[in-house]
């Protein structure tokens, strides 16, 4: 068993859902190790062919051409990029998609959280500023694992405690994979609403107009016009109107199930992601050196480094400190 497989054991133990255990199992079976080993083998063979040319320049050996080096490097980089492209999904499989409900006080954020988790988890009152801290619940929306996060209503306030809550809400927007921006459909949007809309521009978001049971949705069109491409849904957290549509709108964005079931390697570990990014960079430097016509020894150094960086994933080239750190997560004797 190599290091990435040992890490998969930890992941399997800590796994919170069927998808993450499936991903951990595939890593344990060596799908990732196999991939990394084949990439390293490609680099080892490339480096060896380059080394012959460097060591025996006078021999009449068939030199590896610049084009061949370039082709080999770009092939490996393409495969690394493919692996890296799974990392976002991999993290969400492991931790759940961070879906954060934000909006000014009293629009119904906590009511929505309670509806989606189907229990009275958060306190709901008609007092603006009820939620003071960030509340997090794990839910499944149509086989998508979601960390649903309710936040304190965002507004200008002098209350010390509420102020801290507002700061945490802003932090929660930063950390969110998807932001649910909630507006109160029974009221004309005001400065506080505009502030929330501005703070979430550029984030993945869905705009929710709540309290449509009160019958006033004449502002929806105006909001839609200013939504800048973000979907707008009308709901009532009180009667349940529109909730199913909202759930589908959220879950249909994520295709982690298909990714895991495809059987290809998925990067779920941030250590692996970092190593792949470093290897990618080293290979990029090698490509540049070759393209600039610099001596091949220079590219060789970068290629050797990329081999080491890939080896960190499987443990071939990892330092003892890192291994010790990883194995700290095994609870021996428990």
Ligand X SMILES: Nc1nc2c(ncn2[C@@H]2O[C@H](COP(=O)(O)OP(=O)(O)OP(=O)(O)O)[C@@H](O)[C@H]2O)c(=O)[nH]1
What are the strands of the beta sheet with 205-210, ordered from one edge? 135-141, 144-150, 97-102, 178-184, 205-210, 232-234
- The yes or no reply on residue 126 touching ligand X (CB under 6 A) is yes
Q: Please, what is the minimum distance in Å from the beta carbon of residue 265 to Mg ion?
A: 41
Collapse the DSSP code of 219 into the 3-class scheme (helix H, G, I; strand E, B; otherwise coil) and give the result.
Answer: coil
Q: State which residue, 9 or 134, has the beta carbon closest to ligand X.
A: 134
* CB-nearest residue to ligand X: 153
- The yes or no reply on residue 109 touching ligand X (CB under 6 A) is yes
Q: Please, what is the minimum distance in Å from the beta carbon of residue 110 to ligand X?
A: 3
Among 17, 51, 130, 251, binds ligand X (CB under 6 A): 130
Bridging pattern class, strands 135-141 and 205-210: unpaired
Q: State which residue, 159 or 325, has the beta carbon closest to ligand X.
A: 159
- The yes or no reply on residue 131 touching ligand X (CB under 6 A) is yes
**Residue 116 interacting partner from Mg ion, ligand X, none (CB closer than 5 to 8 Å by kind):** none
Q: Please, what is the minimum distance in Å from the beta carbon of residue 266 to Mg ion?
A: 35
Q: Please, what is the minimum distance in Å from the beta carbon of residue 83 to ligand X?
A: 40
Among 30, 90, 96, 105, binds ligand X (CB under 6 A): 105
Q: Please, what is the minimum distance in Å from the beta carbon of residue 132 to ligand X?
A: 8
Structure tokens at 194: 């505009």
Q: Angle, nearest 10°, between helix axes 18-28 and 31-55?
A: 40
Instruction: Give the residues lining the site for Mg ion (CB under 5 A).
Output: 109-110, 130-131
290, 66 contact by CB (below 8 A): yes
Which residues are paired to 210 by β-bridges?
Answer: 184
Q: State which residue, 94 or 147, has the beta carbon closest to ligand X.
A: 147
Which range in 103-111, 224-232, 259-267, 272-280 contacts ligand X by CB under 6 A? 103-111
Q: In angstroms, what CA-CA distances link 268 with 15, 19, 26, 28?
A: 11, 11, 11, 12
Which residues are paired to 144 by β-bridges?
Answer: 141
Q: What whole-number distance in Å separates Cα of residue 180 and Cα of residue 232? A: 10
Judged by CB under 6 A, the number of residues near ligand X is: 24
182, 205 contact by CB (below 8 A): no
- The yes or no reply on residue 128 touching ligand X (CB under 6 A) is yes
235, 207 contact by CB (below 8 A): no
Q: Which of 19, 1, 2 is nearest to 268 (CA)?
A: 19
Q: Please, what is the minimum distance in Å from the beta carbon of residue 150 to Mg ion?
A: 6
Q: Please, what is the minimum distance in Å from the beta carbon of residue 111 to ligand X?
A: 3
Phi, psi of 159 (to 5 degrees): -65, 125
Q: State which residue, 243 or 298, has the beta carbon closest to ligand X.
A: 243
Applying CB under 6 A, the residues found at the interface with ligand X are 103, 105-111, 124-126, 128-131, 152-153, 210-211, 213-214, 236-238
């Amino acid at each position: 068993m190599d290091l990435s497989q040992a890490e998969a054991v930890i992941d399997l133990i800590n796994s919170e859902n069927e998808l993450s255990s499936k991903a951990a199992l595939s890593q344990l079976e060596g799908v990732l190790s196999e991939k990394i080993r084949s990439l390293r083998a490609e680099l080892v063979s490339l480096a060896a062919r380059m080394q012959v040319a460097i060591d025996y320049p006078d021999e009449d050996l068939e030199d590896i051409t610049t084009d061949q080096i370039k082709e080999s490097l770009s092939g490996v980089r393409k495969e690394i990029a493919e692996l890296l492209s799974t990392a976002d999904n991999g993290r969400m499989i492991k931790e759940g998609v961070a879906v954060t409900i934000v909006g000014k006080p009293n629009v119904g954020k906590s009511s929505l959280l309670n509806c989606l988790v189907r229990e009275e988890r958060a306190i709901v009152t008609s007092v603006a500023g009820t939620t003071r801290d960030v509340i997090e619940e794990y839910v499944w929306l149509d086989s998508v694992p979601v960390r649903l996060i309710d936040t304190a209503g965002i507004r200008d306030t002098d209350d010390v405690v509420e102020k801290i809550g507002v700061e945490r809400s802003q932090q929660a927007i930063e950390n969110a994979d998807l932001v649910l921006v909630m507006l109160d459909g029974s009221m004309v949007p005001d400065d506080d609403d505009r502030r929330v809309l501005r703070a979430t521009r550029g984030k993945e978001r869905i705009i929710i107009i709540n309290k449509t049971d009160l019958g006033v949705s004449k502002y929806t069109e105006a909001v839609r016009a200013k939504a800048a491409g973000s979907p707008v849904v009308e709901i009532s957290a009180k009667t349940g109107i529109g909730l199913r549509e909202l759930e589908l709108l959220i879950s249909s964005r994520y295709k982690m199930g298909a990714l895991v079931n495809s059987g290809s390697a998925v990067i779920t570990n941030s250590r692996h992601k970092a190593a792949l990014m470093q290897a990618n960079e080293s290979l990029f430097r090698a490509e540049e050196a070759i393209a600039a016509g610099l001596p091949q020894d220079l590219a060789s150094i970068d290629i050797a480094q990329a081999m080491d960086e890939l080896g960190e994933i499987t443990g071939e080239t990892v330092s003892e400190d890192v291994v010790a750190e990883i194995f700290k997560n095994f609870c021996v004797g428990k």
